Structure 1
């Protein structure tokens, strides 16, 4: 089955959870695709996982296009999402030019970090045939604004602001949204408020889908390991079995449990 944005929308409409994961090369992409993952994200997290940098800010559009081409060669069924890196969509013209590079490299959807200020950009991309995934909550490209990788949406005011920004992204035409680094209650509120699929990472198990950086799912993360990370490889001893276990537990609502979620 070839997964499209309509596939994920149908899963949300039917209240069926789904799993997604990052990949950066053809080999892992093929393993994940064969295991039945619904979507694969070429994340700008490659700045840390592949390049060994301290943030995502140094990733370029050409690097993203290169890794997108690699992943696309390993995928037969999964939906391919690709991150627009830092400052590659600072204006609508840049966004269109750089999104085209990712789509030409094999992406089906591009992902942008930010809220209502991106509404015109999202509308323009969609009008030009480029599906968009929004990304709100803890947005890693704003690490210097946040003063670090800090959990967002802990109080009523910030939670309401996040929900409003998510709704603005949906209204602008985004096909789906990633919500990252928020308490479980905030993840639930965003998911219930939006008609489009909401994919959580560190946002509790009430979102429509989950995404993990592959290094977090396979116990390969160096340095700080986020609370929501879980080493499925250690539990199974095999990469394919690890991914299948991850998929199964997401679909059943078992992962992430409270031990792998931010509660407040």
Structure 2
């Protein structure tokens, strides 16, 4: 299937079986997740923290995203591969389209960008050229510095109304899905009911959206230094890695 066909298949899942989405940053992880039946693989700019060791996503460059997108794309997955446009890579519609094309050339099948109304023109510029776009509203990690931290969104009627207005602008511009990050559950449920495209939640309540996205290191327990309060680890790989390396060291260094 082409990227457009995969995006259309995701769109048709609205009100159907919930969408399972995970981040992936390398070839073997992408293969394993795809073989396990994940619907969407997100090459997220979260790699800035869990792979590259930066304090937030604002340090991630297009070169970083191209490198990791190409690695994930080599897995030739059934899941649609969505790549984040990093900060300052979509400041204008022309820039957004140019960098979206670069990610597609690297192997992505769709791109994702953050923001609502002020990004609609950029989304339209990309989708008009046949490139699928996933939206992202609510808490926007690329704006963490200007907002002074990570905060829940939708706490007031005004915030909830602005989220819906932004989401509708993205839908009109042609997105096939929208990530809702750190939106309070009742507002996430309302948005999900109102929108014609699937919503994919993270930190927005377990059953509030048409699907969920998790950072793979949170799911596997392989990044123990920071675990978001909403994360639900299914494994503890950090302990397993420590035990394996300790056993290896003891075997090599035995008297």
Q: Provide the TM-score with structure 1 as the length reference.
A: 0.85
2:119 is the alignment partner of 1:106: no
SS at match of 1:135: strand
Residue 234 of structure 1, CA deviation: 4.2
Alignment of 1:1-264 (within 5 A): 4-13=6-15, 15-204=16-205, 205-234=207-236
Structure 1: how far apart are the matches of 2:224 and 2:96? 32
Post-superposition CA distance 1:75-123 (Å, at most 9, x none)? 3201000000000000111111111110001111100101111111111
Post-superposition CA distance 1:14-35 (Å, at most 9, x none)? x321201000000000000000
The question of whether the paired residues in 1 share the 8 Å contact of 2:139 and 2:183 is answered with yes
Residue 69 of structure 1, CA deviation: 0.5
Structure 1: how far apart are the matches of 2:38 and 2:139? 24
The question of whether the paired residues in 1 share the 8 Å contact of 2:10 and 2:176 is answered with no
Residue 227 of structure 1, CA deviation: 1.7
The question of whether the paired residues in 2 share the 8 Å contact of 1:219 and 1:230 is answered with no
SS at match of 1:192: helix
Structure 1: how far apart are the matches of 2:175 and 2:78? 22
Structure 2: how far apart are the matches of 1:88 and 1:178? 19
The question of whether the paired residues in 1 share the 8 Å contact of 2:66 and 2:102 is answered with yes
SS at match of 2:60: coil
Residue 223 of structure 1, CA deviation: 2.9
Post-superposition CA distance 1:48-81 (Å, at most 9, x none)? 0111111101111111011001001113201000
Structure 1: how far apart are the matches of 2:204 and 2:9? 22
State the structure with more CA Rg. Answer: 2
Post-superposition CA distance 1:151-177 (Å, at most 9, x none)? 111122211111111111111111111
Structure 2: how far apart are the matches of 1:103 and 1:76? 15
Q: How many residues align?
A: 236
The question of whether the paired residues in 1 share the 8 Å contact of 2:139 and 2:181 is answered with yes
SS at match of 1:113: coil
The question of whether the paired residues in 1 share the 8 Å contact of 2:222 and 2:236 is answered with no
Structure 1 gaps, min length 5: 239-264
Structure 2: how far apart are the matches of 1:31 and 1:75? 11
Structure 2: how far apart are the matches of 1:30 and 1:212? 17
SS at match of 2:232: coil
Match of 2:244 in 1: none
